[in-house]
Amino acid sequence: MAFNVDHIRKDFPILSREVNGHPLVYLDNAATSQKPQVVIDCIVDYYSNYNANIHRGVHTLSQEATDKYEEARTTIQTHFNAEFSREIIFTSGTTHGINLVANGFSSLLTEGDEIIVSALEHHSNIVPWQMLCERTGALLKVIPMDETGVLQLSAYKEILSEKTKLVFVNHISNALGTINPVKEIIELAHDVDAAVLIDGAQATSHIKVDVQALDADFYVTSAHKMCGPTGVGMLYGKEIWLNKLPPYQGGGEMIKEVSFEKTTYAGLPHKFEAGTPNICGGIAFGAAIKYLNSIGFNAIKKQEERLLQYATKELLKIEGLKIYGTGAEKTSVISFNIEGIHPYDIGTIVDKLGIAVRTGHHCAQPVMDFFKIPGTVRASFAFYNSKEEVNSLVAAVKRAKLMLQ
């Protein structure tokens, strides 16, 4: 079926509301996506019809909930092409997944080991590693980027060595939209036997990720950026790595046998899933993935590329407007400033016109420091955004500029 954005917009009830007397123009998709009716229905259906705790009860509701939850795990496994469903760990989101791995590596690293991150990271992919370094005495090294917001692979090759144990890079930068050459980064890390974690929070809504083709050791993402609910996400880990890591949290569900003398842990994936999980969220995550696949990732990519190109062209016509992140490989994120105007002021005025953009450092202060700016205005587009919405954004930014200069 041909891609028709007007048709697709009807799947998202929130897109028909007004904000400050204007039709909502939602351009903060890099922070969180909107939810289609099928995902909302899935949540209502769970609580209306089969809410029960999973993996514990013999009763029918518990069985139904368990089946749906495990079905969602399989949907996620198939979508990301993991070899086994037990390699998919449900988490509360990207941040949780990263912390789980960082914590696990505490017992695998020693003083003098090195770990590498990129200059383009979200705080959630910096701070846990700094904490890991403090605990273990390992050293943190950084892959630098150039003026266009592209990572410098030549510098990466120089800091990689036999001492490197881990490399952590995001697949796509949330601050600039740069798509990083993760396959190459992984290959080079594997040459020195280092493990690689890819933060896919910003990638999985735009591209269909194949963890085996990438040969990633760990891959994390959040459902809420992929049309799913907040508070749920996934950690993919190769089985050999997940078996090496100790459990992150102790509690119910993650044990085999417990006595006061000794406790043995459950196998994968339950070893990492202590306590009652976000059952409804996990099931709705599966529904969101099915929805995205029903649109098709090729169609999604085409529409987002159209919007990116058009918006870039139109915004650059505004005098004094500068876009940060101009690498050839990028997704539909435009981070910009207008000379002499604070990004917050632009964000406030366009909101009065119904337009939702992000302003600030986007949880990536090192990126802002690199460009010597306090922050940017970030417009991030999803496949359900339209060309008319780009026009509204451009008109609103022009108006803000007139008012503020």
Ligand X SMILES: *Cc1c(COP(=O)(O)O)cnc(C)c1O
d(CA 73, CA 108): 28
Please give the residues from 222 up to 261 whose contact with ligand X meets the rule CB under 6 A.
222
Nearest to ligand X of 77, 202 (CB atom): 202
Angle at 178 between CA 175 and CA 183, to 5 degrees: 130
Q: Where are the alpha helices (DSSP H) in 151-238?
A: 153-159, 182-191, 211-214
Q: Is 94 in the site for ligand X (CB under 6 A)?
A: yes
Confirm or reject binding of residue 93 to ligand X (CB under 6 A): yes
CA distances from 295 to 9, 205, 344, 387, 390 (A): 12, 12, 34, 18, 21
Q: Nearest distance from residue 403's CB to ligand X, in Å?
A: 31
Q: In the range 122-161, which residues lie near ligand X by CB under 6 A? A: 122, 124-125
Which of 327, 15, 32, 390 minimizes the C-alpha distance to 202?
Answer: 32
* Contact flag: residue 95 with ligand X (CB under 6 A): yes
Residue 335 C-beta: closest distance to ligand X, Å? 13
**Catalytic status, residue 363:** yes
Among 77, 164, 174, 180, binds ligand X (CB under 6 A): 174
Q: Which residue has the tokens 């060309």?
A: 387
Give min distance, CB of 10 to ligand X, in A.
27
The interface region with ligand X, picked from 34-42, 91-99, 257-265, 373-381 by CB under 6 A, is 91-99
28, 199, 304, 389: residue in contact with ligand X (rule CB under 6 A): 199
Nearer to ligand X, 142 or 395 (CB): 142
Site for ligand X in 254-293 (CB under 6 A): none
Query: Which of residues 122 and 206 has its CB atom nearest to ligand X in the complex?
Result: 122
Query: Chain-centre distance of CA 96, in angstroms?
Result: 12
Enumerate the H helices of 250-296 as residue ranges: 279-295
Question: Looking at beta carbons only, is 169 or 400 nearer to ligand X?
Answer: 169
Based on the shown chain and the rule CB under 6 A, indicate whether residue 205 belongs to the binding site for ligand X: no
Which of 246, 150, 241, 151 shows the shortest CA–CA distance to 194? 241
- Read off φ and ψ for residue 45, nearest 5 degrees: -60, -40
What letter would DSSP give residue 50? Answer: I
Are residues 376 and 337 in contact, defined by beta-carbon separation less than 8 angstroms? yes
Q: Calculate ∠ Cα 385-390-391, nearest 5°.
A: 135
Among 29, 77, 103, 202, interactor with ligand X by CB under 6 A: 202
382 touches ligand X by CB under 6 A: no
Which CB, 175 or 300, lies closer to ligand X? Answer: 175
Q: At closest approach, how far in Å is the CB of 289 from ligand X?
A: 16
Point out which residues bind ligand X (CB under 6 A): 93-95, 122, 124-125, 170, 174, 199, 201-202, 222
User: Mind telling me the catalytic residues?
Assistant: 363
